[in-house]
Structure 1
């Protein structure tokens, strides 16, 4: 053991303290010979050049020195650590989605349950305030019907030129053109009456009354469609417009029939004074009803953001005058109607209104033809005896058809009565035309049936006008439709009509019959939203009921 002092110190044990100690390693005694130390660095073999020196690193040197024994450490038995292969490709880019704020889904739209009360009397009683609001316009349109009948010839004054006969229609066109671009308000009635034996005052009266009717026409029908409940919209619209016009026509026919036999060419203007007095009374009643019973459209109030005022309007439009579940249901439906129309641009509203305009303008032209001056001439030529009774029956048949149309428009629907009415009008127009060869006496009898079916079919057009056009352009297109109708009145009144005109009337009614089958939708008991959507296409074959 003489070489123990040359032993190196034991290496520090790695691992746990409880590991067994390493066995001592005996090293041979050092030698100071140069060959006792192996060369450091890579080994050289014969025939091979020395390895190149790596750039940037100094060549390895032999640090062995005399008297120094190199420490040799035993292998510790650790497994070699595996490294992933090196690559110079750029690391893959990982997309990190930005944090998003949670947006809760919109709440579902409330369920709208609009209920139609049972019983005709109950429905009329509950919704009577809606008719009261439109009473002012009813009186205005009644005076308009009187002046229409007067202008087409149901009067006994033979000294009238074409200008005076067309004065009322010209005034109506002026009023409708103004109303198309005015805010949707109900114009007040301008009360005028004719002065005794003064044609200038009579012409002024016709112009002013025509302007009043033209101003009131579009706002009234738009208001009727918006304030009426869905199950009475047709009746309220038809009763306010067509039924009122036909009532005025009937009143003027009675006045003309009463004074026709006792007419004095020189100084008898009593029949025109009577008409002026009735117009004045109706005008005064219209002002009173408009001042006391007018209620703003709930649709207009919703569109202007006055929701609480809309609730109050809906409350007052139905008895018992207290808000209930149906009031809130109507409010929600009006809000959806306004929202759907506010999302439409003006150009889109215009394009959607065109199909309805072409259909309804064609139907209103038939209305002007069916009560034109031609039929007044046919009645006057029929017989000099009992002429008063003939024209009264003629007017009563028209009024009766209009009454039935207003009663069934919400029960039987719009499309069915319209098609049936035009079918009957077509048939009796051709029958009456075929009887002209035997004299006018037999023609008049068939004209009664023609007017009845025409009144039935054309009364439905009031309901269509109140619901067909988009909200943004509704008042404009109602006015345009009315203007087209007035132009037909003027054209027919300025033409010399022939006996074959009845065949033309029959052909036009046949065309309206086909139009009704192919193009008119069924909008009975529908909301304004649904009715408007059904008018966006030209063809509507199914009943949609």
Structure 2
């Protein structure tokens, strides 16, 4: 089994996704620019959408090494801007665009690459690293915002270091996907990539077995042209638009940030420890998932977490629906507690979305559908931010939490019937299960 080299080949993306967590948290309320324009809240997400769209031709035409090096360079430039102009709104917006573009491209590239180079026995662990790394970045950003007054300079230093590490790692650790090589008719390079993924390195009988498995996967997907592949990908796309693009945003959003901050302020005053617990619980949830997803499975655990999130969101909406509840410290303390608990289960849910997105789509249309799925996720954040910052916060929060809680409960029932279990399946089998409209088994 090729573990160490595979892990090194993909987990250095942790560096860029950590930067993604820092910037996402800043744009979802963990910041110190409450009085500036709405553009600064939206810029990172707009950049991420642009990055998702740019990733389509890049993934098809350019090797992963150069894509990841370019994205790391963007993060490096972003860090330099933060250090040099921490007080300039326009500079910060430009830096966020650069980071968002880098993260958008990296996300699509990583999810495609990790699904192709990892063995089925630990594919879940490797794909889950995307959301786990983002949770680490969120944790760091929340601590900075909660404990220190000046965070922009330190944010820039972190991005600068992460960009440098990512740039070096891209050339040292990146191993090209064997599937990418085989699709270009280079079987020798594909075999070399597989040999580098072995432990210890070298061509063995298992290397040839892996090569044949990849060739079989490509042959199976080559039976269909682009139109047929697109048709096969529509059912998985609809499922994952709901499962990833919509549900993931409900677990970490600007309204949830407002809820925990309001609940804390009105019940505990200027205490900041609930904010640290808030981020720490999300990190803990993600950590639990990456070590259990290949043993306990994906479907049952993720849906259990999802229904709990929905059940916790509705009471927050009920408390916010009555303006007199804002004067009740006990009720605001309950809002704070519910917000903290949501992060634990959202942290456990989030990595499952990365796994399913990496496994679901047919090979020929995978870059297109995967990038669309990730782009819609960021568009949902953009819409939510625009609505929250342009309307009465109290009225919007009351409606938002009730609506999202009810939507989650409804989609939970739907997912029980349509989301497949893909633990320890080949990519071909995982795609086949996603293409079926119904999948009623929990395991």
TM-score, scaled relative to structure 1: 0.73
1:378 aligned to 255, 259, 272, which one? 259
Instruction: Tell me: CA distance 1:457–1:383, structure 2 relative to 1, closer, same or farther (3 Å).
Output: closer
Distance 1:516 1:455, change over 3 A: farther
In structure 1, what is the equivalent of residue 440 of structure 2? 541
Give the aligned partner of residue 233 of structure 1: 123
Instruction: Name 2:392's counterpart in structure 1.
Output: none
Cα distance in 2 between the residues matched to 1:249 and 1:479: 23
- The residue number in structure 2 matching 1:252 is 141
Residue of structure 1 in register with 2:310 after alignment: 426
The yes-or-no answer on 1:366 pairing with 2:366 is: no
2:98 pairs with 1:216: no
Calculate the aligned-residue CA RMSD, in Å.
1.6
Q: Which residue of 1 aligns with 2:286?
A: 402
Corresponding position of 1:166: 42
Does the 8 Å CA contact 1:172/1:214 hold for their aligned counterparts? yes
Indicate if the aligned counterparts of 1:136 and 1:287 stay in contact, CA closer than 8 A: no
Q: Does 1:413 align with 2:297?
A: yes
Q: CA deviation at 1:285?
A: 0.6
CA contact (8 A) 2:289 2:348 kept: yes
State the distance in 1 between where 2:359 and 2:289 align: 17
Number of the residue aligned with 1:328: 208
CA offsets 1:507-545 (integer angstroms, 9 cap, x no match): 1221231232111011110111111111112211124x5
Aligned to 1:456: 348
CA-to-aligned-CA distance 1:117-150 (integer Å, 9 cap, x gap):
7xxxxxxxx5021121123422111111111100
Q: Cα deviations across residues 104-123 of structure 1 (Å, max 9, x unaligned)?
A: xxxxxxxxxxxxx7xxxxxx
Q: Is the 8 A contact 2:260 2:339 kept in 1?
A: no
Deviations 1:418-474 (A, max 9, x none): 111112212222344444445322111012222211221221011111111011011
1:480 alignment counterpart:
372
1:483-494 equivalences under 5 Å are 483-494=375-386
**What pairs with 1:291-306 in structure 2 (closer than 5 Å)?**
291-306=171-186
Higher relative contact order (CA 8 A, sep 6+): 2
Once the two structures are superposed, residues 35-67 of structure 1 have per-residue CA deviations (whole angstroms, 9 ceiling, x without a partner) of xxxxxxxxxxxxxxxxxxxxxxxxxxxxxxxxx
The worse-fitting range, judged by mean Cα deviation, of 439-448 and 332-341 is: 439-448
Larger Rg: 1
Extract structure 1 runs of 4+ deviating beyond 4 A. Answer: none
Q: Does 1:201 align with 2:101?
A: no
Cα contact 1:238–1:462 (8 A) shared by 2: yes
Figure out how many residues of one structure are paired with residues of the other and give that number.
410
Aligned residues of 2:248 and 2:353 also touching (Cα < 8 A): no
* Bigger helix fraction: 2
Paired residues of 2:260 and 2:340 also in contact (CA < 8 A) = no
Tell me which residue corresponds to 1:73. none
1:460-539 correspondence to structure 2 within 5 Å? 460-496=352-388, 497-539=396-438
Post-superposition offset of 1:298: 0.6
Q: Aligned to 2:13, what secondary structure does the other structure show? A: helix
- 1:297-322 deviation digits (Å, cap 9, x = unpaired): 01111222211211111111121112
Q: Aligned equivalents of 1:166 and 1:408: distance in 2?
A: 34
Do residues 178 (structure 1) and 178 (structure 2) align?
no
Residue 231 of structure 1 aligns to a residue in which SS? coil
Residue by residue over 1:72-109, the C-alpha shift from the partner in whole angstroms, topping out at 9 and shown as x without a partner, is xxxxxxxxxxxxxxxxxxxxxxxxxxxxxxxxxxxxxx
The equivalent of 1:123 in structure 2 is none
Question: How many angstroms does 1:238 deviate by?
Answer: 0.5
The answer to whether the Cα contact below 8 Å between 1:369 and 1:488 also exists between their aligned partners in 2 is: no
Q: Does the 8 Å CA contact 2:309/2:346 hold for their aligned counterparts?
A: yes
Please report how far the alpha carbon of residue 154 of structure 1 lies from its aligned counterpart in structure 2 after TM superposition. Answer: 0.3
User: After the TM superposition, which of the residue ranges 522-531 and 380-389 deviates more from structure 2?
Assistant: 380-389
CA distance in structure 2 between the partners assigned to 1:242 and 1:383 by the alignment = 26
* 2:33 corresponds to which of 148, 153, 157: 157
Instruction: Tell me if structure 1 keeps the 8 A contact 2:251–2:309.
Output: no
- The whole-number CA distance in structure 1 between the counterparts of 2:45 and 2:381 is 7
CA positional deviation for 1:500 = 3.6
1:40 equivalent in structure 2 = none
- Where does residue 445 of structure 1 map in the other structure? 337
Paired residue secondary structure (1:134): helix
Question: Equivalents in 1 of 2:10, 2:59: separation in Å?
Answer: 17
**Contact 2:16/2:163, CA 8 A, preserved across alignment:** yes
**SS of residue paired to 2:398:** coil
> Cα distance, 1:386 vs. partner?
4.8
Structure 1, unmatched stretches of 5+, are 1-116, 118-125, 264-269
CA deviation digits over 1:205-242, x for unaligned, max 9?
Answer: 00000011111111110000000001111110011x11
Instruction: Measure, in 1, the Cα distance between the counterparts of 2:153 and 2:408.
Output: 37
Gaps of 5+ in 2: 389-395
